Amino acid sequence: MTRTVIITGAGSGIGAATAKRFADDGWNVVLNGRTREKLDAVAAELPEMHVRVVQGDVANPDDAARLVEEAVDSFGGLTCLVNNAGIARGGEPGALSHDDFNAQMHINVGGTFNCVTAALPELKKADGACIVNTSSVSGERGDWAMFGYNASKGAISNMTRAMALDLAPEIRVNAVAPSLTETELTTDIRDDDALMKRFSDRIPMGRGAKPEEVASVIAFLASHDARFVNGVVLPVDGGLSASNGQPNFSA
């Protein structure tokens, strides 16, 4: 069976790793992002016959509609939508600007809404259709100085659960909730040795995730093996969220 996936934010990090993983698993892969050069570089590593690049901004409903249209023109249908594009802007209440708050809501939440809205008519025609959203551990609990990001990822986690109710049984909707992952988004954190030490103290596995370790869980959620998994927000966090937040008494 030919399966086609759209992956947003596929020019780097988790999205790029997810594109590679789906291509390895035999999917047609449609890469979306804002920067053509980054998308072309990812596409160059994938089988030419099975990959398309559609540049665009997920926060723009017209771009989302064109993304789905070009995917269907290229491959004749759509089986899965991976809503991965996202940004993070830090700042405590009172310090986070309106622009930064709104940008996170428009891209992270609005982008997911736009792509789902555009993709639904096509997903409804497909066998084994699904949506996988990229939430975060930051969507399940709060971070210091990240409340705008927390709000946007909390919205994605709960949209996931609510859409899973509305769209079953035809379309499954799930999400991954990674913690610290080695991507451009976390360069500043990973350059700070003292902060990384505190991260590794909080993550039982003692390290951040590789993008491929998140991509493989997204691929699982999209697979036939996960055909009865619906409405979950699956932590991919090395055990971080298993803790109640208290420090390690035995360390």
Cα separation, 240 vs 251, in Å, equals: 16
Which residue type occupies 211? P
First-to-last alpha carbon distance for the chain, in angstroms, is 51
Q: Considering the rule CB under 6 A, would residue 14 count as an interface residue with ligand NAD? A: yes
> Using the rule CB under 6 A, which residue among 5, 7, 12, 53 binds ligand NAD?
12
Among the listed residues 159, 180, 215, 234, the single contact to ligand NAD using CB under 6 A: 180
Buried b (16+ CB within 10 A) or exposed e, 42-55: bbeebeeebbbbbb
CA distance 54 to 94: 37
| Minimum distance from residue 242 beta carbon to ligand NAD (Å) | 17
Q: Cβ closer to ligand NAD: 11 or 154?
A: 11
Q: Are 79 and 130 in contact (CB under 8 A)?
A: yes
Of 34, 50, 161, 190, the residue at the interface with ligand NAD (CB under 6 A) is 34
Q: How far apart are CA 109 and CA 125, in angstroms?
A: 25
149 flagged as catalytic: yes
Q: In angstroms, how far is CA 114 from the centroid of its own chain? A: 14
- Told to check if 58 binds ligand NAD by CB under 6 A, we report yes
**How many residues in the shown chain lie near ligand NAD by CB under 6 A?**
30
When the beta carbons of 85 and 164 are compared against ligand NAD, the nearer one is 85
φ, ψ dihedrals at 184, nearest 5°: -55, -35
CA-wise closest residue to 57 among 100, 114, 1: 114
Region binding ligand NAD by CB under 6 A among candidate stretches 65-73, 82-90, 166-174, 217-225: 82-90
Q: Does 15 bind ligand NAD (CB under 6 A)?
A: yes
Task: Take residue 33 and report the two structure tokens written for it.
Answer: 């992002």
Of 53, 68, 85, 119, the one binding ligand NAD (CB under 6 A) is: 85
Binding track, positions 121-160, relative to ligand NAD; x by CB under 6 A: -------------x-x------------------------
Asked if 110 interacts with ligand NAD (CB under 6 A), we say no
Active-site residue, selected from the candidate residues 27, 113, 147, 149: 149
Determine phi and psi for 172, rounding to 5 degrees.
Answer: -85, 145
84 in contact with ligand NAD (CB under 6 A)? yes
- From the CB of 196, what's the least distance to ligand NAD, in Å? 12
Tokens 């920067």 — which residue? 35
**Which 8-state DSSP code applies to residue 80?**
E
Q: Which residues are designated catalytic? A: 149
Residues that bind ligand NAD (CB under 6 A): 8-9, 11-15, 32-35, 57-59, 84-88, 107, 111, 134, 136, 178, 180-181, 183-186
